[in-house]
């Protein structure tokens, strides 16, 4: 069946499962057809999205009567074992079997929660991603990473579990708050910084169209981001090597999130600060031009992403949260750094004194 409302389509050739990504407008007919392949479908979402899209969500039942809804509280702080247990109980009460389907309808938090639930419920059931945020469309819905947080750190408990499909409907971005939209742009810029100078330049040159949420421009950014990630996942599905470059800016970003108990920054905002720190570190090493640091600072400011750490944040406590990084090996953090714009290295060692110095400069920016 052909759908005229698909703008882009690509395949993720993951070793354990190849699956399609659909990028377009009004994709309901596509995922309804997909749902009808299953005898039971559990759609997991949060209360904010359910209230925002209550009519279309409930209308699903007209065409897919086997759908039931699992609604959790909105927010990163609810991505925990207690909420996960509530989701399991909903599945059992609705008699979800191993031949059912779980649909993650939401941003990165819902994608991680529903994905991990599908990876572990009855030792694994199928699931699909229906991302509703730009950040989820360009990054977290693709690649099969699922997880929940612990108090000590982000995504400390998780599993690799690839979705059966990803449906990125651009219409959801029309209601996305500016702050969340901008946070998603940071994850797209990440791909340019680590893999493609030309893609990074494209984002900078088209920043006004992006800010206006031009469907064609945003669809292209989503497509390219997914293409870059698909190439990496095809080579390193379970992050034994080069997939680690996707963590650029995330080591410090995750520490900032856990330091603030997941209630101060959106994920993309924390990654923006972590990325700014690593660009600053690259300048210190003589690998990046100071002019680029100023240009990157300016693009963060344009998209209203934080360029500084608040003066009352305790740098020593942020550094302590680095010790909870789940990607540590042999007791040490492994950092992703830039050799140049578009070329990255992973598994790098950095002295904490250097990071403390960089974070101190970020605090002075404020």
Report how far residue 222's alpha carbon sits from residue 232's, in angstroms, rounded to the nearest whole number.
Answer: 16
Phi-psi region of 246 (alpha: psi -120 to 50; beta: other; left: phi over 0): alpha
- 138 and 225 part of one domain: no
Q: Which residues pair with 70 in a beta bridge?
A: 44
Query: Tokens 């080069």 sit at which residue?
Result: 242
Residue 320 CB partners (closer than 8 Å, separation 6+)? none
Specify whether 243 is catalytic: yes
- 254 and 280 part of one domain: yes
Q: What secondary structure letter does DSSP report for 123?
A: G
The one catalytic residue in 76, 187, 257, 269 is 187
pLDDT more than 90, % of the chain = 83
The one catalytic residue in 180, 247, 257, 333 is 247
Specify whether 89 is catalytic: no
- 152 and 195 part of one domain: no
The one catalytic residue in 155, 250, 257, 321 is 250
Both tokens assigned to 228: 């870059």
pLDDT tens string 192-246: 999 999 999 999 999 999 999 999 999 999 999 999 999 999 999 988 888 999 9
- 124 and 215 part of one domain: no
**Strand ranges of the sheet holding 126-131, from the earlier edge strand across to the other edge:** 6-13, 18-24, 166-169, 126-131, 101-106, 41-46, 67-72
Specify whether 365 is catalytic: no
CATH number, residue 131: 3.40.50.1970
The one catalytic residue in 2, 82, 123, 353 is 123
Q: What is the pTM of this model?
A: 0.93
Is 1 part of any domain?
A: no
Both tokens assigned to 49: 């999205």
Q: Which domain holds residue 184?
A: 178-365
Domain count, the chain: 2
Say yes or no to pLDDT of 330 above 70: no
Specify whether 267 is catalytic: yes
Specify whether 247 is catalytic: yes
pLDDT tens string 71-118: 999 998 999 999 999 999 999 999 999 999 999 999 999 999 999 999
Count other C-beta atoms under 10 Å from residue 208's C-beta: 10
The one catalytic residue in 182, 229, 257, 333 is 229
pLDDT more than 70, % of the chain = 96
- Strand 343-348 relative to strand 335-340, pairing: antiparallel
- 167 and 194 part of one domain: no
Say yes or no to pLDDT of 324 above 80: no
Specify whether 239 is catalytic: yes
CATH number, residue 270: 1.20.1090.10
Instruction: Tell me the pLDDT band of 121, cut-offs 50, 70 and 90.
Output: very high
- 357 and 231 part of one domain: yes
Report how far residue 22's alpha carbon sits from residue 24's, in angstroms, rounded to the nearest whole number.
Answer: 6
The one catalytic residue in 180, 254, 269, 333 is 254
Specify whether 250 is catalytic: yes
Is 142 part of any domain?
A: yes
Report how far residue 294's alpha carbon sits from residue 319's, in angstroms, rounded to the nearest whole number.
Answer: 25
Query: What pLDDT was estimated at residue 115?
Result: 97
Listed residues 141, 157, 175: the one ending a domain: 175
Query: What pLDDT was estimated at residue 322?
Result: 86
- 190 and 213 part of one domain: yes
Specify whether 254 is catalytic: yes
Instruction: Tell me the pLDDT band of 366, cut-offs 50, 70 and 90.
Output: low
| Least trusted range by pLDDT, from 31-45, 154-168, 220-234, 329-343 | 329-343
| Least trusted range by pLDDT, from 6-10, 136-140, 144-148, 327-331 | 327-331
- 33 and 166 part of one domain: yes
- 329 and 184 part of one domain: yes
- 131 and 259 part of one domain: no
- 171 and 182 part of one domain: no
């Amino acid at each position: 069946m052909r759908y005229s409302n698909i703008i882009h389509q690509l395949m993720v050739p993951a070793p354990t499962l190849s699956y399609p990504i659909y990028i377009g407008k009004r994709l309901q007919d596509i995922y309804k057809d997909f749902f009808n392949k299953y005898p039971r479908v559990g759609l997991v979402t949060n209360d904010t999205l359910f209230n925002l899209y209550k009519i279309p969500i409930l209308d699903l039942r007209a065409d897919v009567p086997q759908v039931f809804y699992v609604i959790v509280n909105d927010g990163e702080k609810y991505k925990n074992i207690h909420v996960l247990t509530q989701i399991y109980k909903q599945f059992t009460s609705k008699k979800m079997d191993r031949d059912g389907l779980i649909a993650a309808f939401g941003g990165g938090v819902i994608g991680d929660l529903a994905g991990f639930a599908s990876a572990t419920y009855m030792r694994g059931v199928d699931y699909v991603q229906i991302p509703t945020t730009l950040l989820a469309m360009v990054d977290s819905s693709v690649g099969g990473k699922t997880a929940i947080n612990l108090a000590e750190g982000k995504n400390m408990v998780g599993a690799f579990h690839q979705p059966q499909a990803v449906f990125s409907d651009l219409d959801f971005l029309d209601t996305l708050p500016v702050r969340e939209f901008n946070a998603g742009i940071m994850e797209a810029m990440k791909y340019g910084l680590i893999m493609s100078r030309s893609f990074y330049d494209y984002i900078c040159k088209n920043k006004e169209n992006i800010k206006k949420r031009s469907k064609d421009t945003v669809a292209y950014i989503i497509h390219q981001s997914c293409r870059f990630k698909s190439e990496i996942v095809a080579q390193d599905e379970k992050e034994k090597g080069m997939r680690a470059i996707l963590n650029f800016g995330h080591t410090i970003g995750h520490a900032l999130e856990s330091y603030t108990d997941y209630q101060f920054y959106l994920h993309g905002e924390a990654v923006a600060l972590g990325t700014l720190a690593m660009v600053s570190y690259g300048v210190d090493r003589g690998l990046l031009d100071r002019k680029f640091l100023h240009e990157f600072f300016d693009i963060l400011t344009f998209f209203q992403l934080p360029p500084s750490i608040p003066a009352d944040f305790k740098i020593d406590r942020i550094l302590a949260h680095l010790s909870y990084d789940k990607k540590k090996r042999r007791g040490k953090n492994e950092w992703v750094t830039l050799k140049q714009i578009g070329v990255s290295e992973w598994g790098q060692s950095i002295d904490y004194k250097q990071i403390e110095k960089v974070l101190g400069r970020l605090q002075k920016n404020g």
